[in-house]
Amino acid sequence: MTRIALCQIPVSPDPSTNLKRATEALAGAEGADLAIFPEATLTRYGRRITGMAEPLDGPFVSGLAEAARRHGLSVVAGVFEPGEGRVYNTAVAIDEQGGLRAAYRKIHLFDSFGAKESDLVAPGAEPTVVELAGLRVGLVTCYDIRFPELTRALVDRGAELFAVIAAWGSGPLKEDHWVTLVRARALENTMWTAAVGQAPNPAESSDGFGVGRSMLVDPLGVVRADLGTGPGVRVVEVDHEWTATARTTLPCLEHRVL
């Protein structure tokens, strides 16, 4: 068993507020091996991100790493990292000793539903699997979930869990898309999938980011936990024996032709 804390927090434009919320969430994740936070935990989306981006040794990631070390658990969280002209939308993976183990730069940018993330964000290029809490964790950020070829690439790199982080936009059918896509990526890859989104932030609701609905989905696509819309931290269990059972029942990875 691996115990995972789904940390569904609201995100403010202010990084210090968000770091405080994240450290409080870690304090409430007692017994977890790995805590997962949303995309853009550093600061809320908007044109401000080009000025708010921090290097990976900056105060936000350093503060999160210290909290991870203090509480003895690994962390995945979304930040913005400076680039040339644009920023990177980066998922950082921090181990239980506070060491930065990986930084995944989001590959698929959200140029859809009237948004154009690529105006502010440069794309990454490399699928990333990182060893955390004794697991090989494949990192997926928000719009990436619409692209099944990415999660298949993570499987081919040895992923044992998908960690999906998001600042999912609200709108007609959008919440349904989120639930459907997370379950589909879990089921088609017979993979435990921990998906964490921002909780709605009433003070910043005009931008539409954050629908909540953080979930743990098992390898047969069953939702084992769903946090709904409110902020919260829930510790859930990943049963690795169930992965083997599911793959015996549904050996679709063995049946791949392409």
Catalytic one among 7, 117, 142, 160? 142
Q: Which residues lie below 8 Å from residue 113, measured CB to CB, with a gap of 6+?
A: 169, 171, 174
142 noted as active-site residue: yes
Residue 71: how many CB atoms within 10 A of its CB? Answer: 18
39 noted as active-site residue: yes
- Integer Cα distance of 98 and 118 in angstroms: 31
Query: Contact, 209 vs 49, CB < 8 A?
Result: no
Looking at residue 13, its amino acid is P
Query: Contact, 60 vs 12, CB < 8 A?
Result: no
Catalytic one among 54, 106, 117, 160? 106
Catalytic one among 7, 39, 81, 117? 39
Q: Which residue in 227, 232, 206 sits closest to 44, CA to CA?
A: 206
Do the bridges between strand 135-141 and strand 129-132 make them parallel or antiparallel, or are there none, so unpaired?
antiparallel
106 noted as active-site residue: yes
Tokens of 150: 């990415």
Q: Which residue in 21, 50, 47, 61 sits closest to 199, CA to CA?
A: 21
Tokens of 119: 């105006």
Query: Contact, 19 vs 243, CB < 8 A?
Result: no
Looking at residue 6, its amino acid is L
The catalytic residue positions are: 39, 106, 142
